[in-house]
Amino acid sequence: MKYLSTRGAPERKRFCEILLEGLAPDGGLYLPESYPQVSDATLTRWRTVYHQQGYAELAFEVLSLYIDDIPAADLRALCEKTYTAEVFGTGEIVPLRHLEEGVWLEALSNGPTLAFKDMAMQLLGNLFEYELARRGEELNILGATSGDTGSAAEYAMRGKKGVRVFMTSPHGRMSAFQQAQMFSLQDANIYNIAVKGVFDDCQDMVKAVSNDLAFKRQYRIGTVNSINWARLLAQVVYYFAGYIQATQANSQKVSFTVPSGNFGNVCAGHVARMMGLPIDKLVVATNENDVLDEFFRTGVYRVRGSADTHETSSPSMDISKASNFERFVFDLLGRDGARTADLFGAQLAKNGRFDLSADPAFAQCASRYGFVSGKSTHANRLDTIRATWQHYGVMIDTHTADGLKVAREHLTAGVPMLVLETALPIKFAETIVQALGREPERPAKFEGIEALPKRVQVMEVDVAAIKALIARECAHSA
C-alpha cells in the first residue's frame, strides 16, 4: 500500500514514512492510493473475528490492509496492547446501547480521557514508540490545547520511550476537571505548560517554534493533530465494529451520525464506506460553527474568521475550518489533485471560500457518498440532554446531544441509526448542571483527581522560553 497527497505531488510513500509526518510537502493530506475492498466473505469473517476474538483482532484485520511495512506479528501485538478492557472499560471496547426505535448510541468515550480521541491516540502512542525505537530516533511533540486533544495526546504518550510531549494550554482557562486530568500526570516525559494568555497565544507559540526550521530539525519537533493518517485509520475500525454489532447479515445497511468539527471522525466513516461497508448515510452534525453543514446544504465552503468562530457548549467542535475536509473533496472531485490544490490552496488563500454549487460533483455528496448534515444550537443541546435523561435515564454529553438531535432529522425506516457518543458528560459538567440541575456521574477512576498534586509550569507568552525548555530537557535526558 502506497500513500499519495491530495494536492497531486507525484511521490508515493509507505505507511511508516507518513506516520510521523503532518502535512505532505506540497501542503496536501495523505490518502491511500486506493481503498482496499472488503468482500462479502471478508465482512462475514470479520463478524466472527469481532464476536469471538474481539476488537483488537478486528483492528489488526483492518489495519493490515493499509500497513505493509510493519511485520504482521508486531502489528497484531500493538493492537492487542492498545485495545484492552483495562484501558477502554469494556471488552467490547465500543459497545452499542439501544436508545429508542431505530436509534443506538455507539460508545467511543470510555478511554483514559473520556473522549473519542483516545480511540486513535492510544494506538498512535504505541505506533510512535515502536517506529521510533526501530529507527533509533526521538520525537518531541509540541502542541496547544484547550482541552480534549492535549489530554488525549498526553495519556497516549505518557511513559513512551523516545517521545516527549510539551503541551501548552491557556493558564486558568480550562475547567478544573480538564486541568486535573492533564496536570496530575507525573510522567517524566510529559510537560504541561500553562501559558499566561489565551488559546491563540498558545497556538502562535507552537507555530513560531515550528516555523524555525533549524530548531525544528535539531530537536525533532512533531505534532499529533487530527490530519495524521494513522489517527484517521484507527477510527475506521469502530465503524466496522458498530456495523457488526447492529446487524446480523451483510444485506443490512446502517447510518452513522457524527458530531463533527475537523471532519476527522466522519472522514473515517467515509473511508469505511469506500471500502464497501454497507453504510447508508453519513450524517455530519455541527454546532453553531456550521462550516460543514453550510457546505453540505449549499456547496459553499467558507472558512470563518475568529470573530465568526463561536465559543459553544460543545467546545471540541468549535472550529473555523475543517482540517480533514480536503480528503473528502479530493475523492469527490475524482481525485483531481490539481483542482484540490487550487481550491484549498489558491482559492481559500485569496477568497477564504470556494463554491462547488454549480459543479455536478456537488450533488454526488449525498447521492454517491451518502453525506447529509444538520446543526444544533445551545438550546437544542440542553433540550436533548434533558429529554434523554427524562425518558431513558441516559445522561449524554453536549457533543453527543448535538449528534442525537441531528440524527433524528435523518432517520430512515428499517435502517439503524448509530449516533457516535464522542465524550462523557463529566467532561462538560457545567452544561449538564444547567440542563439537569445535577452533577454528572463521575467514573470511579476520576474520583478526587482535582486534589492530586499538579505537575505544570506557568510561562509567559514567550517563544524563547519554550525553546529553552525543550533544549534543556533534550540535553538533560540525552
Question: With binding defined as CB under 6 A, does residue 181 bind ligand PLP?
Answer: no
Specify the stretch interacting with ligand PLP by CB under 6 A; choose among 23-31, 111-119, 197-205, 237-245.
111-119
Specify the stretch interacting with ligand PLP by CB under 6 A; choose among 38-46, 168-176, 259-267, 460-468.
259-267
Question: With binding defined as CB under 6 A, does residue 89 bind ligand PLP?
Answer: no
> Which H/E stretch holds residue 465?
helix 463-477
- Of 220 and 442, the one with the shorter C-beta distance to ligand PLP is 442
Question: With binding defined as CB under 6 A, does residue 374 bind ligand PLP?
Answer: no
Q: CB of residue 106 vs ligand PLP: minimum separation in angstroms? A: 13
**Backbone phi, psi, residue 288, to 5°:** -60, -20
- Of 46 and 104, the one with the shorter C-beta distance to ligand PLP is 104
3-state secondary structure of 96: strand
Rounded distance, CA 45 to CA 35, Å? 19
Among 7, 270, 399, 405, binds ligand PLP (CB under 6 A): 399
Q: Would residue 117 show up in a list of annotated catalytic residues for this protein? A: yes
Specify the stretch interacting with ligand PLP by CB under 6 A; choose among 156-164, 256-264, 301-309, 339-347.
256-264
Alpha helices in 5-162 (DSSP H): 15-19, 40-48, 55-64, 72-82, 85-88, 117-135, 148-157
Closest CA to 295 of 238, 234, 348: 348
Question: With binding defined as CB under 6 A, does residue 250 bind ligand PLP?
Answer: no
Specify the stretch interacting with ligand PLP by CB under 6 A; choose among 19-27, 66-74, 260-268, 385-393.
260-268
Among 151, 226, 287, 289, binds ligand PLP (CB under 6 A): 226
Residues binding ligand PLP: number (CB under 6 A): 17
State which of positions 192-211 bind ligand PLP (CB under 6 A): none
CB 106 within 8 A of CB 420: yes
> Choosing from 2, 13, 117, 281, which is the catalytic residue?
117
Q: CB of residue 444 vs ligand PLP: minimum separation in angstroms? A: 21
- Of 250 and 314, the one with the shorter C-beta distance to ligand PLP is 314
Rounded distance, CA 454 to CA 438, Å? 27
> Which H/E stretch holds residue 4?
strand 3-5
Q: CB of residue 283 vs ligand PLP: minimum separation in angstroms? A: 13
CB 428 within 8 A of CB 400: no
Q: CB of residue 189 vs ligand PLP: minimum separation in angstroms? A: 23
> Which H/E stretch holds residue 406?
helix 398-407
Q: Which amino acid is at 289?
A: N
Question: With binding defined as CB under 6 A, does residue 117 bind ligand PLP?
Answer: yes
Question: Ramachandran region of residue 422, left (φ > 0), alpha (ψ -120 to 50) or beta?
Answer: alpha
Q: CB of residue 323 vs ligand PLP: minimum separation in angstroms? A: 8
304-343 mask for ligand PLP (x: CB under 6 A)? ------------xx--------------------------
**Which residues does 186 contact at the CB level (< 8 Å), separation at least 6?**
453, 455
Q: CB of residue 116 vs ligand PLP: minimum separation in angstroms? A: 6
End-to-end CA distance of the chain: 35
Question: With binding defined as CB under 6 A, does residue 120 bind ligand PLP?
Answer: no
3-state secondary structure of 100: strand
Rounded distance, CA 209 to CA 320, Å? 22
- Of 337 and 425, the one with the shorter C-beta distance to ligand PLP is 425
Question: With binding defined as CB under 6 A, does residue 148 bind ligand PLP?
Answer: yes
User: Parallel, antiparallel, or unpaired: how do β-strands 254-259 and 279-286 relate?
Assistant: parallel
No. of helices (H) and no. of strands (E), the chain: 21, 15
Among 151, 168, 181, 422, binds ligand PLP (CB under 6 A): 422
Question: With binding defined as CB under 6 A, does residue 407 bind ligand PLP?
Answer: no
State which of positions 261-290 bind ligand PLP (CB under 6 A): 261-265
CB 29 within 8 A of CB 327: yes
| Dihedral (CA of 216, 217, 218, 222) sign | positive
Among 31, 38, 115, 382, binds ligand PLP (CB under 6 A): 115
* The three cell numbers locating residue 95: 459497545
Q: Which residues bind ligand PLP (CB under 6 A)?
A: 115-117, 148, 226, 259-265, 316-317, 399, 422-423
Report, as residue numbers or ranges, the catalytic residues.
Answer: 117
